[in-house]
């Protein structure tokens, strides 16, 4: 009747960008990510026979509105699976700074799916849990696993074959990520709205989708061989291609700020000085930098010195979902 789970967020090296079904969240391409140790959500789901609705407390504050609705709609899926009509008290602690530009929805929905199913007495395989989690937030389905994970888009219209699979565990490779946080704030185009606009109107969208299979195949070879240059350069090019689709949308948009470009240039300069570092960027202005442990001090120092950068948060690769 009560369960607690912890899940980490993840950073995509091959991006998920575009849906073919918005309701049950089916993507237009496979994606691949690294789960991050530094950023996580811990969620407790407790069932209450006497409740007439769900309660959701995030970091000690009751949540209402759209965010509450996403949680109860997701709990409805679990209730349906369990065949139980019982409401829950959901309490989450988020250790994902919103300002870091990580979707807390990835760790949030992975932890909610794990704690929710356990509280309802449902036993799911990791694959089944990933498929369920996908319906809360697409990128969250990759956070079920530690290390590197690939979300296979699947072919079916009912989503039965759309879930993530593990590619390499945490122990395989100590690849690190620096989250570079920028001071500037701007009204954000949500990933949901950004994808929709891109799919519907960007002439570059087909080029993006067609470029994925090669990127995926090569990055997986690179991960297997722990080849930083290969993995980093593919991740960087894939990110640039994703962001290029937004410039072709109608109306056009970009997630980048002036400091975003400065960070990108600084990463390139680091490489010219012999430090293997590569960037990737999600649906926001902040930049994530991939680097190796032996270069941590240099990378952190150089990134912190960039005007307009307010913080740099370092992370190792993290474990998949755990029950507490
Ligand atoms: O799952 P969402 O709605 O948070 O979308 C994530 C989209 C990107 O972060 C830009 C890419 C990705 O694969 O995580």
Sign of the C-alpha dihedral, residues 324, 148, 67, 310? positive
Which residue is listed with tokens 């794990």? 114
Which domains are assigned to the chain?
2-171 (3.30.230.10), 176-315 (3.30.70.890)
Can you say whether residue 226 is alpha, beta or left, with left for phi > 0 and alpha for psi between -120 and 50 degrees? left
Mutate to test the pocket of ligand 1, among 15, 16, 32 (most ligand atoms within 8 A of CB): 16
Mean pLDDT in the chain? 96
Going by pLDDT thresholds of 50, 70 and 90, the confidence category of residue 96 is confident
Q: How far is the CA of 16 from the centre of ligand 1 (A)?
A: 6
Nearest CA residue ID for atom 10, ligand 1: 282
CA dist list (Å): 307 to 182, 273, 302, 310: 9, 20, 11, 8
Exposed, middle or buried: residue 13 (CB in 10 Å: 0-12, 13-18, 19+)?
Answer: buried
ipTM higher than the 0.85 cut? yes
Q: Of the residues 15, 133, 209, 235, which should be mutated to test ligand 1's pocket, given the most ligand atoms within 8 Å of the CB? A: 15
Q: How far apart are CA 223 and CA 232, in angstroms?
A: 10
DSSP conformation class of 104: H
Please tell me the distance between residue 195's alpha carbon and the centre of ligand 1 in angstroms: 9
pLDDT at 194 over 80: yes
Q: What is the pLDDT of residue 179?
A: 95
Mean pLDDT of 128-148: 98
Rounded CA separation 103/33 (Å)? 13
């Amino acid at each position: 009747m009560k369960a607690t789970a912890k899940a980490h967020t993840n950073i995509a090296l091959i991006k998920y960008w575009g849906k073919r079904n918005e309701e049950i969240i089916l993507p237009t391409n496979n994606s691949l990510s690294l789960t991050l140790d530094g950023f996580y959500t811990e969620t407790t789901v407790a069932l209450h026979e006497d409740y007439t609705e769900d309660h959701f407390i995030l970091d000690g504050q009751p949540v209402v509105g759209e965010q509450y609705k996403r949680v109860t709609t997701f709990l409805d899926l679990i209730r349906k699976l369990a065949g139980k009509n019982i409401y829950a008290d959901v309490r989450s602690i988020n250790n994902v700074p919103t300002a870091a530009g990580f979707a807390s929805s990835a760790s949030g929905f992975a932890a909610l799916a794990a704690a929710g199913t356990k509280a309802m007495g449902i036993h799911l395989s990791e694959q089944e849990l990933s498929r369920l989690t996908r319906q809360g937030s697409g990128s969250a389905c990759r956070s079920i696993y530690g290390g590197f994970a690939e979300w296979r888009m699947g072919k079916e219209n009912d989503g039965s074959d759309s879930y993530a699979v593990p590619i390499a565990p945490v122990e395989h490779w100590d690849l690190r990520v620096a989250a570079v946080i920028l001071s500037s704030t701007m009204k954000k185009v949500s990933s949901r709205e950004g994808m929709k606009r891109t799919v519907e109107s960007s002439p570059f969208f087909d080029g993006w989708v067609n470029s994925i299979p090669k990127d995926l195949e090569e990055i997986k070879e690179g991960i297997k061989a722990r080849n930083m240059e290969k993995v980093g350069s593919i991740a960087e090019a894939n990110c640039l291609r994703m962001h290029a689709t937004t410039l072709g949308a109608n109306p056009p948009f970009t997630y980048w700020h002036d400091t975003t470009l400065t960070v990108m240039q600084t990463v390139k300069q680091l490489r010219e000085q012999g430090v293997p570092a590569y960037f990737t960027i999600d649906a926001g202005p902040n930049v994530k930098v991939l680097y190796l442990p032996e270069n941590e001090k240099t990378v952190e120092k150089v990134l912190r010195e960039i005007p307009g950068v307010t913080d740099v948060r370092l992370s190792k690769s993290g474990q998949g979902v755990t029950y507490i």
